[in-house]
């Protein structure tokens, strides 16, 4: 029986997953990464940590599965999108990777938009140039660290740096490349007009593949370092959102995912690229060959709950460790004691700026409506509700775009919480389903590896063979109109505070 491996280079850690041809998980491993924030609004990681996590994760997953490396037919790579790994002529990392949630490049994004022209940029890339995207990071390096820029010979996305170490190949694939502001989304290739306008040579960038295609094979040195078999095929894979969508079966019209991980994403399949006229969502290439997707992004979804846990819930973390349970379980049990609406307490989850529907790097988190009646249970529930309100913003944009939405599949860590699923169903007024798989992007790229290895004839066949619905959470009728009223206030809060966010960021950047 052939086995398939998926590796997801996430923001907080690397997951290695092994499945069989039925889609059953037979082995896995997880190894954490650290995150550096050297300045307000900055976020960086050392790519060496990813590679160490891969080197540790592969043999651990093989051992967990009880199989040998030569039983792995192929592997796929997924990873956090938009990050910039700058390499010199010897493939050495020049500086820490600037991550997707980093907000330092607003001036560079404005410059890119002016140089290319807003209409031309959207025509080529189907999106505005946003601070999280890769192009702004390249220009930032050129402007702010010219000595480092002079050394650059290649710029790779996070998962593609791991591909280089595994296969020796400079390669990416269309879904991850879509988030660079340098890809022609309709033609699925690097945009010469954009590159020329920015003075960037295409040789800086890797070759672009469709996601299920084999992009290289494991080298002898990588096999020695990881325990894989030399010659194992490595497929293109996918950016974490497209890969997670494959892992959720979002490969046909009408099926939409709502993912609550570190970020939150509402993701819909498209046969043809459609662009929101107000540019509030992202239109990218899908990991399904010749297909596209539209997605709305909340930068701090599960990240907001993690911040709350780490900042205010030390006793719960300690108790959870003693009980052998997830600390989030204790927090959500506490949140369940508060009533819907939290007695007027609202939370804006803009801890690292925001994308949809507000592409605003200056937006910041807010608790609004605090009174003496509010206890910690209200604050925890307010975070859960605030993230759900942010996700609803994306659903509302999809409705205005005419995106078909016949079935919502909840995924990510937040989907494991019955309370959070219920809140999301109530806030959106839409049933939320779960599926038989909870492995997300790593599972998706394992399926893509199966297509590349010939185990499946297509991505659609791979999903049909392995994914099925498991549960359904219907909205509670009396909660829907209540949350509609709260959501209106939630939206008005951002509009009221928007000018002040920029002022606060200026004060932090230049105190006094």
If you average pLDDT over residues 74-98, what whole number do you get? 98
* pLDDT tens figures, 399-433: 999 999 999 999 988 899 999 999 999 999 999 99
* pLDDT exceeds cutoff 90 at 261: no
Which SS3 state, helix, strand or coil, does residue 122 take? Answer: helix
Q: Any idea which of 80-84, 115-119, 358-362, 403-407 has the lowest mean pLDDT?
A: 358-362
Show which residues are catalytic.
240
User: What is the pLDDT, as a whole number, of residue 25?
Assistant: 96
Torsion-angle region of residue 82: left (phi > 0), alpha (psi -120 to 50) or beta?
A: left
Residue 511's pLDDT band, with cuts at 50, 70 and 90, is low
* pLDDT exceeds cutoff 90 at 491: yes
Task: Characterize the bridge pairing of strands 207-209 and 254-260.
Answer: unpaired
User: What is the pLDDT, as a whole number, of residue 314?
Assistant: 86
What is the sign, positive or negative, of the torsion defined by CA atoms of 457, 459, 464, 467? positive
If you average pLDDT over residues 33-54, what whole number do you get? 94
If you average pLDDT over residues 421-448, what whole number do you get? 96
Within 13 Å of residue 294, how many CA atoms lie on the same side as its CB?
27
Write the DSSP assignment of 422-433 as a string of letters: HHHHHHHTS-EE
Q: Any idea which of 221-235, 319-333, 372-386 has the lowest mean pLDDT?
A: 319-333
Q: To which H or E segment does residue 145 belong?
A: none
Residue 320's pLDDT band, with cuts at 50, 70 and 90, is confident
User: What is the pLDDT, as a whole number, of residue 343?
Assistant: 97
By 3-state DSSP, what share of the chain in percent is helix, strand and coil, each rounded to 5? Answer: 45, 25, 35
CB-based contact 478:336 (threshold 8 Å):
no
Name the percent of the chain lying above pLDDT 70.
99
Walk me through the domains of the chain, giving residue ranges and CATH numbers. 3-248+437-470 (3.30.420.40), 296-436+477-509 (3.30.420.40)
What is the sign, positive or negative, of the torsion defined by CA atoms of 398, 400, 403, 408? positive
Q: Is 329 exposed, middle or buried (0-12, 13-18, 19+ CB in 10 A)?
A: middle
Q: Any idea which of 59-73, 257-271, 475-489 has the lowest mean pLDDT?
A: 257-271
Q: To which H or E segment does residue 25 belong?
A: strand 25-32
Residue 510's pLDDT band, with cuts at 50, 70 and 90, is low
User: What is the pLDDT, as a whole number, of residue 440?
Assistant: 85
Residue 361's pLDDT band, with cuts at 50, 70 and 90, is confident
If you average pLDDT over residues 118-141, what whole number do you get? 96
Query: CA-based angle 227:230:231, to the nearest 5?
Result: 140
Q: What are the φ/ψ torsions at residue 180 (nearest 5 degrees)?
A: -100, -15
User: What is the pLDDT, as a whole number, of residue 432?
Assistant: 98
Considering the entire predicted model, what is its pTM? 0.89
* pLDDT exceeds cutoff 90 at 319: no
Name the percent of the chain lying above pLDDT 90.
89
Write the DSSP assignment of 404-473 as a string of letters: -EEEEEEESGGGG-HHHHHHHHHHHTS-EEEES---THHHHHHHHHHHHTTSSSSHHHHHHHH--EEEEE
User: What is the pLDDT, as a whole number, of residue 506?
Assistant: 84
Q: Helix 441-452 and helix 459-466: axis angle, to 10°?
A: 120
SS (H, E, C) 157-190: CHHHHHHHHHHCCCEEEHHHHHHHCCEECCCCEE
> Considering only CA atoms, which of 146, 169, 142 is closest in space to residue 156?
169
Q: Helix 302-312 and helix 327-335: axis angle, to 10°?
A: 100
């Amino acid at each position: 029986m052939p086995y398939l491996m998926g590796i997801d280079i996430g923001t907080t850690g690397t997951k290695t997953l092994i499945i069989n041809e039925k889609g059953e998980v037979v082995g896995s491993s997880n190894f954490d990464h650290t995150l550096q924030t050297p300045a307000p609004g900055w976020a960086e990681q050392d790519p060496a940590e990813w590679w160490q996590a891969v080197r540790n994760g592969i043999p651990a997953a093989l051992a967990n599965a009880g199989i040998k490396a030569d039983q792995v037919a192929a592997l796929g790579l997924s990873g956090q999108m938009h990050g910039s790994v700058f390499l010199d002529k010897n493939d050495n990392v020049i500086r820490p990777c600037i991550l997707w949630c980093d907000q330092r490049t607003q001036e560079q994004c404005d410059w890119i938009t002016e140089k290319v022209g807003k209409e031309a940029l959207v025509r080529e890339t189907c999106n505005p140039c946003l601070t999280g995207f890769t192009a702004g990071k390249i220009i930032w390096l050129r402007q702010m660290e010219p000595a480092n820029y002079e050394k650059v010979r290649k710029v790779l996305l996070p998962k593609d740096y791991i591909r280089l170490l595994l296969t020796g190949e400079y390669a990416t694939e269309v879904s991850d490349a879509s988030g660079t502001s340098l890809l022609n989304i309709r033609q699925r290739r690097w945009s010469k007009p954009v590159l020329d306008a920015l003075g960037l040579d295409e040789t800086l960038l890797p070759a672009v593949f469709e996601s299920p295609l084999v992009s290289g094979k494991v080298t002898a040195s990588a096999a020695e370092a990881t325990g894989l078999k030399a010659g194992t095929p490595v497929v293109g894979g996918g950016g974490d959102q497209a890969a997670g969508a494959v892992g959720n079966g979002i490969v046909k019209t009408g099926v939409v995912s709502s993912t609550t991980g570190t970020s939150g994403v509402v993701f819909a399949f498209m046969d043809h690229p459609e662009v929101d006229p107000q540019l509030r969502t992202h239109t990218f290439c899908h990991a399904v060959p010749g297909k596209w997707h539209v997605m709305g992004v909340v930068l701090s979804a599960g990240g907001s709950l993690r911040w709350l846990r780490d900042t205010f819930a030390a006793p719960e973390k300690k108790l959870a460790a003693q009980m052998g349970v997830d600390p989030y379980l204790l927090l959500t049990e506490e949140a369940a004691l508060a009533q819907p609406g939290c007695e007027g307490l609202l939370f804006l989850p803009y801890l690292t700026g925001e994308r949809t529907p507000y592409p605003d790097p200056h937006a910041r988190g807010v608790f609004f409506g605090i009174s003496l009646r509010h206890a910690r249970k209200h604050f925890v529930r307010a975070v859960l509700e605030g993230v759900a309100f942010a996700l609803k913003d994306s659903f509302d944009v999809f409705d205005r775009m005419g995106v078909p939405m016949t079935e919502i599949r909840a995924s990510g860590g937040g989907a494991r919480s019955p309370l959070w699923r219920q809140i999301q169903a109530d806030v959106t007024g839409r049933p939320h389903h779960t599926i038989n798989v909870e492995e997300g992007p790593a599972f998706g790229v394992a399926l893509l590896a199966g297509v590349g290895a010939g185990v499946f004839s297509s991505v659609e066949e791979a999903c049909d063979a392995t994914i099925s619905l498991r549960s359904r959470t219907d909205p509670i009728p009396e909660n829907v109109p209540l949350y509609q009223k709260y959501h209106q206030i939630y939206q008005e809060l951002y509009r009221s505070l928007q000018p002040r966010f920029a002022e606060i960021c200026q004060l932090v950047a230049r105190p006094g």
